[in-house]
Amino acid sequence: MMQTGVLLAGHGGQGVMFAGELLAKSGITRNLEVAFLPSYGPEMRGGTANCTVMLAEGELDCPLPDHPPAAIVLNAMSYERFQDAIAPNGLMIVNTSLVSERKWREDLKVIALPLNDLAVKLGSERVLNLIALGAYLGATKLLTLDDVMTTMEGLVSERHKHLLPLNRDALKIGFDAAEKEKA
């Protein structure tokens, strides 16, 4: 039985909660058991925002592990706070646009991407969360890009539907970058 999860962390405004909710709802559409645990508080005013998404083929053992098997860290504060929380032999997606540290834990698979730079090159810094989520999906093969895009189409409001092609491109860039890391 598969059970996995990811901690997503950044600062308020980086789309951490949206990416977590998108992953959780995408898991539900694939008939997985899901727990989505957001952390609200000072992040509403620009501090650290984080959430954990757990997914399982069957009953979840624990909705919030002490050491998640993976983390997506979008800024330096989140890296400092959560790097040691990742389970041994886990996965870390790290945003090198905002995290200058380059000495990663040796027991982690690290996918280090300049997410802000990639997002700006794509046309909007606001999609860095989706590039990161795409990298997580590319590394884990947990869900397909089509699974996530189908869910996103139902999740975004009508006034944001015009952004769906950009969002798909962002997910694909992250997914492809993770694929290159494996090679």
Residues pairing with 51 in the sheet: 8, 38
**Beta carbons of 32 and 55 less than 8 angstroms apart:** yes
Give residue-wise pLDDT tens across range 58-101: 888 776 778 999 999 999 999 999 999 999 999 999 999 999 98
pLDDT of residue 39: 85
Give residue-wise pLDDT tens across range 100-143: 988 899 999 999 999 999 999 999 999 999 999 999 999 999 99
Q: Which of helix, strand or coil describes residue 38?
A: strand
Q: Give the global pTM.
A: 0.94
Q: Which of helix, strand or coil describes residue 165?
A: helix
Domain 3-182: CATH architecture, name and number where available: 3-Layer(aba) Sandwich (3.40)
**Beta carbons of 79 and 101 less than 8 angstroms apart:** yes
In terms of Cβ atoms closer than 10 Å to its own Cβ (0-12, 13-18, 19+), residue 114 is middle
Give residue-wise pLDDT tens across range 36-62: 999 865 545 567 789 999 999 988 877
